[in-house]
Amino acid sequence: ALGAFGIFFMQSPSFLEYQRQLNQRQGHDNAQTLFSVEPSPCDNQIRKLLDPIAPRYFNPVFFEVFAHLEQQHLLDPFRVLDHQLLVSLDGTQYFSSQALHCQNCLTRRLSNGQTLYYHTAITPVIVCPGHAQVIALAPAYIMPQDGHDKQDCEQAAGKRWMTQHAATLVPHHVTLMGDDLSSKEPFCALALQQGFNFILVCKPDSHTKFYERLAFWQAQGAIAQCEQRRRQGRLTEVAIYRFINDVLLQDGKQALLVNWVEMIVVNAKTGEQLYYNTFITNHRLSAENVAQVAQAGRGRWKIENENNNVLKTKGYHLEHNFGHGKQYLSATMLSLNLVAFLFHTVLEWSDEKYALLRQVL
C-alpha cells in the first residue's frame, strides 16, 4: 500500500514516472527513505497485491487525521452556524472505458450500442465559506451491492455513507450539504435520523408540489424577506433572502417539515443578477441567521472547484488509470490518492515551511 501511496504523494502521473523520481537522486531509492518500502516493489506487484483489498480498509486514515485536527482545534475556524462543520457531498467519475472493466464497474449503454464501463464515488469534504482549503473525508464508492439487482447510484451511496460514519461524525455537529438529487424526503429523513443537519439545493422543476405550497404561503404573505449590501472589491452587491419555516416537503400528513431559503445576489448599480439558488434545511431560519445558512449552501461549489477539479487538474491525475484490476484496484487507488490530497492539504495548512515549498514548486 505504501508503494502505491508514494505515487500519489509524489504526484507522479504514472508508475513509470514514479520509478524515475525514486531513483533520480544519486541512484538512491527514495521509497526506502520516505515510505519505508524495502525493497521497492514493481508496479505489477503493487497492482496484484492491492486488487483484492477493499477501499474501506483505508477509511480509518481519514478519520484519524480528522480526530487529530479536532484535538488540536485546527477545525475551529471551519465552524459556522452555531459551531457546525459543513460536509459537502458530491459524486465524481474517475474511470471510464469501453474495453477495461471489473466486477465493480457501473455500466451505461451508449447511443452507438456499445457499453461504457465506469467508476464513480462520492468524495465528501469539510468546507467553509471564505476558506481556500477543504478537508477530505472517507469516500463512498458507487458500485454493485450484494443482494441488489438495481444498479447502485449516488443517492444510495450517500445514505450508506451517512449510516456508516454517523457515530464518528455526529458528535462533532455536522451539517450535510448536497445537490438537488439529495433534497428528497428519504435522504433528509435518514440524515435527521442519524443525527445530521442538512442544507440541500432544492430546485422548482424537481419539486413541483413543494413549490406549489410555497406559492400558497407567498400569497398569504408568510414568506419573509431581508437584504444585505456588501462590497466585493470595487463592486457593491445586494443579497436578497426570502425564507419560510415548516413547509411540507411532500404530500401527506406525515411528510417532513423543512425550512426554505431563496438567495438572489444582484449588482447594486446595474441590477444584474450575479447568483441565484434555493435551499431546504432543518436549521430554523430567522432574519439573524438566514444569510449565514444561504452562504453555507452556496459554499457547496467548493467541492467541485477545490476538491474534484484540483484532483483532476492539479497534479493528482484523478482520471488517469493507475491500474484497474478485477476487483477493487481502481477504487483502492482512488482512496490512496485522496489520502495523499488530505496529507498535502493538512501539511500546507499547518506547516509554514511546507506551504512555502509547495508554492515554490
User: Quick check: 330 and 102 in contact, CB under 8 A?
Assistant: yes
Residue 10, pLDDT score? 66
Strand, helix or coil at 323? coil
| Euclidean distance between CA atoms 161 and 152, whole angstroms | 13
Residue 243 cell numbers, joined? 425564507
User: Quick check: 5 and 340 in contact, CB under 8 A?
Assistant: yes
Give pLDDT tens digits along the chain (361 positions): 666 667 776 666 555 566 666 666 544 555 555 666 565 667 777 788 889 999 999 999 999 999 999 999 999 999 999 899 999 998 889 899 999 999 999 999 999 999 999 999 999 999 988 887 889 999 999 998 887 878 999 999 999 999 999 999 999 999 999 999 999 999 999 999 999 999 999 999 999 999 999 999 999 999 999 999 998 888 999 999 999 999 999 988 789 999 999 999 999 999 999 999 999 999 999 999 999 999 999 887 756 566 666 666 666 666 677 778 899 998 998 999 899 889 988 888 877 776 676 666 5
Residue 47, pLDDT score? 83
Strands 115-122 and 106-109: antiparallel
Matching residue, cell 425564507 = 243
Residue 207, pLDDT score? 96
| Euclidean distance between CA atoms 48 and 207, whole angstroms | 47
Burial class (CB in 10 A: 0-12, 13-18, 19+), 92: buried
Q: Which helix (H) or strand (E) holds 15?
A: helix 15-22
Residue 355 cell numbers, joined? 506551504
Matching residue, cell 438566514 = 290
> Which residues are CB-contacts of 307 (< 8 A; sequence separation ≥ 6)?
90, 123, 125, 134, 136, 341
Residue 129, pLDDT score? 86
User: Quick check: 4 and 336 in contact, CB under 8 A?
Assistant: yes
CA torsion through residues 175, 180, 182, 186, sign: positive
Strand, helix or coil at 88? strand
> Which residues are CB-contacts of 100 (< 8 A; sequence separation ≥ 6)?
117, 321, 324
Residue 101 cell numbers, joined? 472493466
DSSP state of 307: I
Residue 120 cell numbers, joined? 464513480
| Euclidean distance between CA atoms 303 and 201, whole angstroms | 14
Residue 239, pLDDT score? 96
DSSP state of 234: T
Residue 221, pLDDT score? 95
Q: Output the CA angle 292-206-113, nearest 5 degrees.
A: 125
| Euclidean distance between CA atoms 218 and 224, whole angstroms | 9
Strand, helix or coil at 326? coil
| Euclidean distance between CA atoms 82 and 37, whole angstroms | 45
